[in-house]
């Protein structure tokens, strides 16, 4: 049974009802039909969107009677502060309804505007209101799907709107061509690592401002971003989702990103109908993964701190995302990472961060005062079948039941369960709390989370109008202005690493000269991100469209007829640090992650891992010392070497698309110029090669001299690599980059460079 309404709230509700009944003021609103829903526009009040809720008029203003009780309850009163409304509504909800608020859906594709049976079930039966949206058929389809979702939940219970969300969705494809007048599905920007290469917080804030407008037009009110893990481990495969390895740059960009997403211009407290909640991740930073292995898998579940820099990894959160320049003041939500932060809990407990009372309550809540939503990373309460399997990520609590894991998460101080559509285990955890602490304590604990979760719905205006205009979505998302801003950011993110003899720019002539030779690239069979997503078969193909290149240069079929070569490659890829074949052959399964193209033997690796141990492993030692790995894309290196040989004295320009640091020493001597692309379209790179734009990007990371320095660096320590020095004497260190005049020395390098 839910607790009765507190006396003070009951008194307030009765008083408001009396005002409604005695209202004698003239009506200040008018209804307008919209595409599939109704709008109410009123002077001096917010616009309301609805489909089935009755409308109350109080002192001439309109309010939605979401629970259909014929009176204006505090949570329905848009004149009241968001927290007061959230407290009132939380007190009215049943335990089952609050359990639904604690759920966060698995990934939902939206190919059509219609709800699936599974979506109707988790919205209706499980009371889920946080939906993670992935691919959409089009902006218009996304808008119509949102409206169908909102109409469905408006008719249920207290009429709580859905809080739809998204992982980052503005990253570009290299082959997508920019057309200033055409617009697109959404504006295209560099990866976060590419944004970091601009060293420009104002540009990142602009990105947040534009992307948030696009999100809201699609019906999305929460961003599962930014990823502000401090990327101090160069082998980590999530490096490109971060702002790099420097704590000061990370802090400034985290603050700018959240300010851009959360701020509604002109709103008194910053929150409004253009705001998107930012869920920063991953507390307390997933960057220092031992050996670079990732915690999506059992074999990568340990974060280590050999340099004693745990506090450094918190900086972007506590001084950036939680300390904004804008009026929203702090990021509204936080996602902990899967990792076990080894040796950090003074009690000696080693469990995944989502299960750690010390990480969540003692640090995040108590020491740093964060009172927003804490949502687990996805699938942490499910079982894990094996060291290499991509399933549950219950690190450190493998022996607990699913319900017991939910209970442990709640006791740690978390509010919401990522990837769980089922309220059942949450209700079991509630009963466990009742048994241990009593029903009143359990109710209080659930209401505390409910208030936080509801705050993010009230502050973004969803209770007033969760509906969006499909035609406006089609016009706004990816409009020419937004596309142009993203494309400009792409050009600013490219880093010119080498320009021997000033071979760049290769300025096109009126007669189509110079002519360029572009060798085909070998695309080896690839399993994709985390070994699962984005897989493709083995093939050879041009890495850039011939038609695009011919807009800049003449096309040369052979090196002999070319004036210069343009070679597109990817950073080395050798796997994720675990090999089942090694285990089956009697090893422990652990192998190196290489950042070089040629075969690599881990001669300088640790003989004993810093962390280890699992119920499914016979040994706690995860060392890979002495083992050898090969790189899937060694043909990228061979392509550069072959181009150098074929071109003779003619320039060879290398464009390397990278998602993390790499060892340049193998190919740098063969290249006259090197451009680093961190998530940009080929067209943006060609603008720089041809001189239509001047390079201005800076390295947001160090590029190592060799793999020995990679093995000997500390996973948690920034700027501790011995960096590559090229043939021109330039060191590929953090904040290094060239423009046409030479090494860049400007306000950005003076502020952030560590020299």
Burial track 107-127 (b if 16+ CB lie within 10 A, e otherwise): ebebeebebeeebeebbbebb
Q: Distance from CA of residue 383 to its chain's centroid?
A: 25
Spatial contact of 250 and 307, defined as CB atoms under 8 Å apart: no
3 state SS of 345 = coil
Alpha-carbon span 581 to 615, nearest angstrom: 20
Tell me whether residue 687 is in a domain. Answer: no
The angle that helices 247-262 and 201-217 make with each other, rounded to 10 degrees, is 30
Q: What is the pLDDT of residues 85-104, one digit of tens each?
A: 999 999 999 999 999 999 99
Asked if 548 and 611 sit in the same domain, the reply is: no
Asked if 544 and 588 sit in the same domain, the reply is: no
Which helix H or strand E contains 655, and what residues bound it? strand 652-657
Full-model pTM: 0.95
Pick the last residue of a domain from 631, 654, 679: 631
Pick the last residue of a domain from 80, 101, 125: 80
In the chain, the number of structural domains is 4
CB atoms within 10 A of CB 426: 27
Pick the last residue of a domain from 631, 653, 672: 631
Give pLDDT, residue 537.
85
Asked if 210 and 336 sit in the same domain, the reply is: yes
Tell me whether residue 563 is in a domain. Answer: yes
Tell me whether residue 682 is in a domain. Answer: no
Q: CATH number of the domain at 118, please.
A: 3.20.20.300
Residue 117, phi then psi, degrees to nearest 5: -60, -40
Asked if 294 and 388 sit in the same domain, the reply is: yes
Rg (CA), the chain: 27
Tell me whether residue 667 is in a domain. Answer: no
Tell me whether residue 141 is in a domain. Answer: yes
Asked if 110 and 73 sit in the same domain, the reply is: no
The ranges of the chain with pLDDT < 70 are 1-25, 179-184, 510-512, 527-535
Give pLDDT, residue 577.
98
Query: How distant, in Å, are the alpha carbons of 95, 391, 435, 674 from that of 424?
Result: 11, 20, 17, 55
Asked if 63 and 74 sit in the same domain, the reply is: yes
Asked if 305 and 426 sit in the same domain, the reply is: yes
Which residue in this structure is represented by tokens 């880093």? 495
Q: What is the pLDDT of residues 643-661, one digit of tens each?
A: 999 999 999 999 999 999 9
Residue 17, phi then psi, degrees to nearest 5: -60, -40
Asked if 68 and 96 sit in the same domain, the reply is: no
Q: Distance from CA of residue 59 to its chain's centroid?
A: 44
Tell me whether residue 398 is in a domain. Answer: yes
Tell me whether residue 752 is in a domain. Answer: no
Spatial contact of 100 and 76, defined as CB atoms under 8 Å apart: no
Which residue in this structure is represented by tokens 């202005």? 481
Asked if 398 and 265 sit in the same domain, the reply is: yes
Nearest in space to 376 (alpha carbons), one of 353, 399, 392 = 353
- Say which residues have a Cβ less than 8 Å from residue 22's Cβ, sequence separation at least 6: none
Asked if 592 and 567 sit in the same domain, the reply is: no
Give pLDDT, residue 19.
39
3 state SS of 490 = helix
Tell me whether residue 702 is in a domain. Answer: no
Output the CA torsion sign for 195, 658, 309, 366. positive
3 state SS of 185 = coil
Strand residues in 5-54 grouped as ranges (E): 29-33, 38-42, 48-50
Asked if 396 and 466 sit in the same domain, the reply is: yes
Alpha-carbon span 678 to 676, nearest angstrom: 6
Burial of 457 (0-12, 13-18, 19+ CB in 10 A): buried
Asked if 401 and 440 sit in the same domain, the reply is: yes
> 550 is in which domain, residue-wise?
494-529+536-571+632-662
Alpha-carbon span 616 to 583, nearest angstrom: 12
């Amino acid at each position: 049974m839910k607790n009765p309404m507190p006396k003070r709230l009951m008194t307030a509700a009765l008083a408001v009802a009396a005002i409604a009944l005695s209202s004698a003021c003239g009506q200040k609103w008018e209804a307008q039909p919209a595409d599939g829903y109704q709008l109410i526009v009123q002077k001096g009040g917010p616009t309301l969107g609805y489909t089935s809720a009755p409308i109350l008029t109080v002192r001439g203003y309109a309010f939605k009677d979401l629970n259909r009780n014929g009176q204006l309850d505090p949570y329905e009163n848009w004149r009241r502060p968001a927290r007061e409304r959230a407290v009132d509504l939380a007190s009215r909800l049943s335990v089952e309804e609050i359990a639904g608020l604690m759920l966060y859906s698995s990934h939902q594709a939206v190919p059509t505007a219609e709800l699936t049976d599974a979506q109707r079930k988790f919205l209706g039966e499980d009371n889920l209101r946080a939906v993670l949206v992935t691919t959409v058929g089009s902006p218009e389809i996304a808008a119509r799907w949102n409206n169908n979702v909102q109409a469905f939940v408006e008719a249920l219970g207290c009429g709580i709107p859905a809080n739809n969300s998204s992982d980052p969705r503005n990253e570009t494809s290299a082959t997508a061509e920019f057309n200033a007048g055409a617009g697109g599905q959404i504006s295209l920007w560099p990866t976060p690592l590419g944004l970091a290469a601009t060293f420009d917080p104002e540009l990142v804030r602009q990105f947040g401002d534009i992307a948030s407008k696009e999100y809201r037009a699609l019906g999305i009110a929460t961003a599962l971003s930014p990823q502000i893990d401090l990327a101090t481990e160069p082998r980590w495969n999530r490096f490109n989702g971060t702002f790099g390895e420097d704590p000061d740059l990370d802090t400034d960009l985290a603050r700018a990103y959240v300010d851009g997403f959360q701020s509604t211009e002109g709103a008194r407290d910053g929150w409004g109908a253009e705001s998107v909640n930012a869920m920063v991740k991953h507390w307390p930073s997933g960057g220092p993964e031992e050996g670079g292995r990732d915690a999506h898998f059992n074999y990568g579940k340990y974060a280590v701190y050999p340099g004693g820099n745990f506090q450094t990894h918190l900086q972007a959160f506590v001084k950036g995302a939680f300390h904004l320049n804008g009026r929203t003041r702090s990021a509204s939500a936080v996602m902990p990472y899967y990792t076990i932060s080894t040796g950090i809990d003074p009690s000696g407990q080693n469990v995944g961060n989502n299960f750690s009372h010390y990480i969540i309550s003692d640090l995040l809540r108590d020491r740093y005062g964060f009172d927003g939503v804490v949502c687990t990373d996805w699938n942490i309460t499910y079982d894990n079948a094996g060291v290499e399997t991509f399933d549950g990520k219950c690190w450190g609590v493998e022996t607990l039941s699913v319900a017991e894991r939910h209970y442990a998460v709640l006791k740690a101080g978390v509010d919401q369960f990522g990837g769980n559509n089922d309220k059942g285990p949450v209700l079991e955890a509630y009963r466990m709390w009742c048994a241990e602490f009593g029903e009143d304590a359990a109710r209080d604990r659930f209401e505390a989370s409910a208030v936080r979760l509801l705050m993010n719905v009230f502050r973004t205006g969803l209770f007033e109008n969760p509906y969006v205009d499909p035609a406006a979505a089609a016009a706004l998302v990816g409009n020419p202005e937004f596309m142009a801003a993203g494309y400009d950011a792409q050009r600013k993110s490219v880093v010119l690493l080498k320009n021997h003899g000033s071979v760049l720019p290769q300025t096109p002539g009126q007669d189509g000269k110079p002519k360029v030779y572009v060798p085909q690239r070998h695309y080896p069979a690839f399993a994709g991100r985390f070994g699962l997503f984005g897989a493709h078969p083995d093939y050879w193909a041009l890495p850039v469209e011939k038609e695009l290149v011919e807009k800049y240069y003449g096309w040369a079929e052979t090196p002999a007829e070319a004036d210069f070569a343009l070679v597109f490659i990817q950073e080395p890829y050798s796997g994720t640090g675990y090999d089942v074949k090694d285990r089956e052959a009697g090893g422990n399964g652990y192998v190196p992650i290489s950042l070089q193209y040629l075969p690599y033997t881990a001669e300088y690796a640790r003989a004993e891992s810093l962390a280890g141990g699992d119920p499914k492993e016979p040994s706690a030692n995860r060392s890979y010392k002495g083992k050898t790995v090969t790189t899937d894309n060694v043909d990228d290196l061979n392509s550069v070497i072959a181009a150098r040989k074929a071109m003779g004295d003619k320039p060879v320009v290398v464009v390397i698309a990278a998602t993390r640091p790499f060892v340049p020493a193998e190919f740098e001597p063969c290249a006259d110029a090197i451009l680093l692309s961190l998530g940009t379209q080929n067209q943006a790179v060609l603008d720089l090669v041809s001189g239509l734009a001047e390079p201005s990007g800076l390295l947001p990371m160090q590029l190592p001299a060799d793999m020995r320095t990679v093995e000997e660096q500390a996973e948690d320590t920034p700027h501790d690599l011995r960096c590559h020095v090229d043939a021109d004497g330039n060191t590929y260190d953090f904040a290094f980059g060239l423009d046409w005049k030479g090494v860049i020395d400007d306000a950005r390098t003076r502020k952030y460079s560590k020299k």
